[in-house]
A and B are shown apart, each in its own frame.
Chain A
């Protein structure tokens, strides 16, 4: 699960995390007792109908502004370690 969430957990963090998550999951599992067979799901209270803005170009941030907060930059882009070391 930690790998899916892209979280490195130390060995000594695993046991407390598992215990705390189990306690929460045991509690939330109570919703399993409800009869919800014919109930539609609500993902969002606002009717979302793919609101589109007019297809007009507008300026985005200048490149230097977009890159200003990056931890590492190379030339005109974000610098990251290689996917395969």
Chain B
């Protein structure tokens, strides 16, 4: 099999080729290793997807996914391998242990190909907030790949990795997947262990797959879910994740979220979204409008809750146990404040300040308290909607990929990127983004969400729609 043929295989197909003997484990890993090294060596001419690349091809093994490489977002701890979360404060940090979800995938046979570039501590929607530089979108190198899992999304879209692991707090898997024309799934909160993920907002963070197709997302998720005694918020997944097989959507009731599908959404995105709705109807789905009356307030609630949690989580970066430390401080307090000043980027500082403010004595109830109550209303909105429909669809991102630098001067406009994805994060429900067409020659994502632990049915619906939409991702391959 030629390198070109190998790189065209989905993860599922590559696994089958290895199992049948058509492809060796070493050939499969080696083909991707050459590509990943190429992107690293290209510097400013490349996509800047990776912050670390494997040094050699691993030995053969007998686990089901052996030989299959994976690119892993930098914020997952990987023993002895740099895990820097896109931050200067963790430059060259090599953790003494590996995240549960990475270990689980390694037990299934997957080998670490690379660590991927990301927005610092997963705070951002464009991958421009990285100490290791911005990532470029393979569809148009003058544009952002989305964020915060931008390196993971760009690597998969460009064919530099067969699939990648990301994390999603308010849309950080789904939005870059949409902007790069690939599949991204945020699982139900608690379905996947957070142990060893460098935390941003612990009540929202979830790991999930970024893949070329829906079948690959199911395959990766199958090896990710499960309760972990090292994460007290992890839950046992009811049953197993099965490969999706649906080709029709007969009898499936799909709600179109009125509040998230028109106002503030680019015309070309609405057009592609409506095209996908037509395909769903042709497959037998029943469409009906649903209302999520509090969804327009989700972004406000999210940008109180997530910074509040981040201001607490990031208190651990104090220059004492790991990470960088400012030199020559006169006393302990100055060591803390200067270490954090020098080590954190502008967006991280902004969110720490925002969170500190929202949690401070005089403002706690007006901001943090109220945001928690909005969160309750958002969950109730979804529960009400799911009484009459099986799934809800929205565009994943209000816009296609924007130009590098276009939103960096205006944090609020950057935050608007998450308008359609944060409601599901606050409710803790699963949501998948699949590519549904092009606008201005750039990919548009369709988001499908369902009740907690509906992943198997969600993947089936996404699979049937993916077949009907026939999205062509070849143009992004480098």
Contacts and interface: CB of A to CB of B under 8 A. Distances in A.
A, B assembled together: yes
Interface of A: 1-10, 17, 20-21, 23-25, 27-32, 34, 36, 39-46, 48, 51, 53, 61, 65-66, 68-72, 78, 80-85
A24 B354 contact: yes
B232 A83 contact: no
Nearest to B298: A31
Interface string B89-101: 0000111100000
Contact of B232 (A1, A43, A51): A51
B379 A45 contact: yes
B297 A30 contact: yes
Contacts of B319: 71
Given A21-B357, A28-B300, A85-B330, A7 B320 contact: no
Given A41-B373, A53-B229, 13 more contacts: A6-B337, A6-B340, A21-B350, A24-B303, A24-B354, A24-B411, A29-B300, A31-B304, A42-B375, A48-B232, A48-B233, A71-B320, A81-B329
A68 B340 CA distance: 21
Interface residues of B, number: 68
B336 A6 contact: yes
A10 B334 CA distance: 13
Chain B facing A: main interface SS: helix
B22 interface: no
A65 to B, nearest CB: 5
B321 A36 contact: no
Interface string B421-449: 00000111000000000000000000000
Contacts of A20: 350, 411
A29 B471 CA distance: 40
Most buried by B among A5, A20, A44: A5
B460 interface: no
A11 B87 CA distance: 23
Chain A interface mostly helix, strand, loop or mixed? loop
A70 B320 contact: yes
Interface string B339-373: 01100100001101110110010000011011111
A21 B330 CA distance: 30
B376 A42 contact: yes
A84 B106 CA distance: 48
Given A9-B341, A43-B372, A66-B96, A28 B367 contact: yes
Contact of B337 (A7, A31, A41, A53): A7
Contact of B324 (A29, A48, A71, A80): A71
A72 B325 CA distance: 9
> Which 9 pairs across A and B sit closest by C-beta, in order of nearness?
A45-B428, A41-B372, A71-B325, A8-B337, A85-B331, A69-B322, A36-B373, A8-B341, A28-B300
A5 B300 CA distance: 21
Contacts of B25: none
Contact of A17 (B311, B350, B369): B350
Contact of B376 (A9, A39, A84): A39
A7 B345 CA distance: 12
Given A42-B372, A78-B321, A84-B331, A24 B415 contact: yes
A5 B320 CA distance: 16
A23 B375 CA distance: 22
A69 B203 contact: no
A17 B332 CA distance: 25
